[in-house]
Amino acid sequence: MTEEQNAALGKQDFEALVRSLLPDLYRYALWLSRDQAVAEDVVQEALLRAWRSADSLREPEAAKSWLLTIVRRENARWFQRQPARAMDVDVVAGMDEILQTPAVDTDLLDMRRAIARLPRDFREPLVMQVLLGLKAEEIGEVMELKSGAVLTRLYRARKQLREALRKSATGRVRMIDG
Amino acid sequence: MNCLDFRRRWSTEPGREDPELATHMARCGSCSAFAVEMESVDHLISEALRLPVPQSMQDFSVETLERGGRSRKQVTVRWVAMAASIMAAVVVSYGAWRVASAPEDIGAELVAHVHHEPAALLPGAEPVAAEQIEYVLRRTGARLEDSLGTVTYIKNCPFRNQRVAHIVIQGSAGPVTLLLLPHVDVDAAMPFEEEGYKGTIVPIGSGSVAIIGGEDEPLAPVEELVSSAVAWQI
């Protein structure tokens, strides 16, 4: 096989890999940044970096973690370059239109808002586990944490979401009753 | 495994395929009920995380990537515009309640809002689905009695402490922004010019619609279109 064929194969493999993961990479970036335009930009830049260093990926089975790590670092770079962001509550309000699209029922919207309000330390491992199907060890590698710490964050994330959902449901019942 | 271990494990890495968890579930009704509840919560979490993905994030090629795709400048400009619009909002909020008596204030505020979301005016945007239009309108107290033509952007936005529909349609000279303002009552059309934009606020029933286009955009046809199409929910 010639060097050109190798390069072509690498490009095709990279494109196939990215196409299979792109929607979830974007969603991961969106849940990290909670800003649609930033998420698109971060993913774009991350993919460019990934393509330029594609030869550093030695184990195909580690491709998902490899791409997530690059997206995560690019997101961090993006925010390092920006002035301090608006208050968290404003960020969540700014994201609200995305959370409401397409038309979703009340429970789902409440859950999306509750996830958006989770501290990032809890939100991020939850997204990696539920959306991207990563195990605690894999999440730990991306986040540079021990598995035990990841599990604690996952536990707290679910606990907070259950409580938030109960509060929302109670509030709705009160509104109906009142 | 005791009940505490079960609940902690299920809350971190849920799954019936884990033999230890499955065994405990089979003999503990309380934990089995807990697991069923958590499965329902996890299903909702999973569904909630799957936010809609824009077209630009659904297809990929290295050629497009290397050509640049989106440029960072777009986002940076948007953030600068956002900061500017926050400043503008602070400045104009002093007179925010004086709607009918100060057209220049509301004109500046409207243009600041347009600057706040420059992505809405990008060329080549796809038409928005009718379902999404209907959904946003319903949430903002508006409805359509006739078509607005091709809508390329619609969003539920905060404006003067209310949620309003921010719409972009295609005019004869470019994109035209509409803000549907059911809570802003004006006696007559209030034209304004601001920062290279030309606009007007037209009365519609007990509310109004702000129309904002480029300097070359003829607004009269849009006024006519809006007047026949926009109504408020009772």
Residue A83 is classified by DSSP as: P
Give me the mean pLDDT over the A84-109 stretch: 68
Q: What is the pLDDT of residue B94?
A: 34
In angstroms, rounded to a whole number, what is the distance separating the alpha carbons of residues A42 and A40? 6
- CB crowding B53-79: b at 16 or more within 10 Å, else e: beeebeebebeebeeebbeeeebeebe
Contact B194, B85 (CB under 8 A): no
Most confident of A89-98, A141-150, B95-104, B130-139: A141-150
Q: What is the pLDDT of residue B175?
A: 92
Q: What is the pLDDT of residue A103?
A: 62
Burial of A3 (0-12, 13-18, 19+ CB in 10 A): exposed
A98 Cβ partners below 8 Å, 6+ apart?
Answer: A30, A36, B51, B52
At A54, list the tokens.
């594609």
Give A 43-82 residues with CB within 8 A of chain B.
43-45, 47-48, 51, 82
Q: What is the pLDDT of residue B60?
A: 85
Lowest mean pLDDT among A1-10, A159-168, B218-227: A1-10
At residue B133 the predicted structure's pLDDT band, cuts being 50, 70 and 90, is: confident
At residue B99 the predicted structure's pLDDT band, cuts being 50, 70 and 90, is: very low
Q: What is the pTM of this model?
A: 0.57
> Which chain A residues touch B44 with a CB distance below 8 Å?
107-108, 111, 165
Give me the mean pLDDT over the A105-117 stretch: 88
Between A and B, how many residue pairs show a Cβ–Cβ distance under 8 A?
129
Give me the mean pLDDT over the B49-66 stretch: 84
- CB crowding B163-189: b at 16 or more within 10 Å, else e: bbbbbbbbbeeebbbbbbbbbbebeee
Most confident of A83-87, B37-41, B121-125: B37-41
Q: Tell me which H or E stretch contains B198.
A: strand B197-204
CA distance A55 to chain B (A): 15
Residues B79-91: tens digit of each pLDDT: 555 555 555 554 4
Distance, CA of B85 to chain centre: 16
Residue B138: count of CB within 10 angstroms of its CB:
14
At B71, list the tokens.
């440029």
Residue B72 to residue A108, Cβ atoms within 8 A: no
Nearest to B58 among A15, A22, A48 (CB): A22
Residues B165-203: tens digit of each pLDDT: 999 999 888 899 999 999 888 888 899 988 888 999 999
Flag whether pLDDT at B210 surpasses 60: yes
Flag whether pLDDT at B102 surpasses 70: no
Flag whether pLDDT at B119 surpasses 80: no
In angstroms, rounded to a whole number, what is the distance separating the alpha carbons of residues B17 and B21? 8
Position with higher pLDDT, A99 vs B167 = B167
Residue among B160, B61, B100, B216 at smallest CA distance from A51 = B61
In angstroms, rounded to a whole number, what is the distance separating the alpha carbons of residues A37 and B76? 10
Please tell me whether residue B168 adopts helix, strand or coil conformation.
Answer: strand
At residue B103 the predicted structure's pLDDT band, cuts being 50, 70 and 90, is: very low
In angstroms, what CA-CA distances link B206 with A86, B58, B126, B167?
34, 43, 32, 20
In angstroms, rounded to a whole number, what is the distance separating the alpha carbons of residues B73 and A165? 39
Q: Tell me which H or E stretch contains B210.
A: strand B207-214
In this prediction, what percent of chain A has a pLDDT beyond 90? 44
Q: What is the pLDDT of residue A171?
A: 62
At residue A9 the predicted structure's pLDDT band, cuts being 50, 70 and 90, is: very low
> Which chain A residues touch B12 with a CB distance below 8 Å?
136, 151-152, 154-155, 158
Residue A112 to residue B57, Cβ atoms within 8 A: no
Taking phi over 0 as left and psi of -120 to 50 as alpha, with beta for the rest, A165 belongs to alpha
Residue A169: count of CB within 10 angstroms of its CB:
13
Residue A128 is classified by DSSP as: I
Flag whether pLDDT at A54 surpasses 90: no
> Which chain B residues touch A86 with a CB distance below 8 Å?
86
Give me the mean pLDDT over the B214-222 stretch: 92
Residue among B199, B30, A49 at smallest CA distance from B38 = B30
Q: What is the pLDDT of residue B81?
A: 57
Contact B98, A16 (CB under 8 A): no
Position with higher pLDDT, A124 vs B138 = A124
Per the prediction, chain A carries an average pLDDT of 82
Position with higher pLDDT, A92 vs B110 = B110
Q: Degrees (nearest 5) of the Cα angle B79, B82, B84?
A: 115
Q: Which residue of B has its CA nearest to A90?
A: B158
Residue among A148, A126, A11, A79 at smallest CA distance from B41 = A126
